[in-house]
A and B are shown apart, each in its own frame.
Chain A
Amino acid sequence: MDTLIPFTTSGSLVDCVDRKMLVVLRDGRKLHGVLRSYDQFANLVLEDTVERIYHGNAFAENWHGLFLIRGENVVLLGEIDLDQEDEIPLQQVDYALLEQYTKKDAEIKKRREEIKAQVLFEEKGFCKEGGEGDGY
Chain B
Amino acid sequence: MLIFSVFKTLTDQQVTVELKNDLSITGVLKSVDQFLNIRLDNIKVLDEARHPHMMAVKNCFIRGSVVRYVQLPAEHVDTQLLEDATRREALTQVKR
**Which one of B30, B33, B63 contacts A8 once the chains associate, using CB atoms below 8 Å?**
B33
Q: How many residues on the A side are at the interface (Cβ–Cβ under 8 A)?
A: 35
B28 on interface, CB distance cutoff 8 Å: no
How does the 8 Å CB contact mask read for A15-28 relative to B, with 1 for contact and 0 for none? Answer: 01000001010101
Name the B residues within 8 Å of A119 (CB-CB). Answer: none
Q: Which of B54-62, B77-85, B88-96 contacts A (4 or more CB under 8 A)?
A: B54-62
Q: Mark A109-136, 1 if CB is under 8 A from B, else 0.
A: 0000000000000000000000100101
Report the bound CA distance from A84 to B62 in whole Å.
21
Known: A9-B35, A11-B31. A71 touches B63 (CB 8 A): yes
User: Which residues of the partner chain B approach A12 to less than 8 Å between Cβ atoms?
Assistant: 30-31, 33, 37, 39, 61
> Please, which residues of chain B bring their CB within 8 A of the CB of A28?
21
Is B72 on the interface with A (CB-CB < 8 A)? no
Question: B56 near A84 (CB under 8 angstroms)?
Answer: yes
Chain B residues with a Cβ closer than 8 Å to the other chain, count: 30
Complex Cα spacing A26 to B21, Å: 9
Summarize A's interface: helix, strand, loop or mixed.
mixed
* Chain B contacts with A in 14-39, Cβ cutoff 8 A: 19-21, 23, 30-35, 37, 39
Q: Once bound together, how far apart are the Cα atoms of A87 and B4, in whole Å?
A: 38
Minimum C-beta distance from A25 to chain B (A):
10
Contact of B37 among A16, A26, A42 (CB under 8 A): A42
Expressed in whole angstroms, the minimum distance between the Cβ of A7 and any Cβ of chain B is: 6
Binding site for B on A (CB under 8 A): 6-9, 11-13, 16, 22, 24, 26, 28, 30, 42, 52, 54, 57, 59, 71-72, 74-81, 84-85, 88, 90, 131, 134, 136
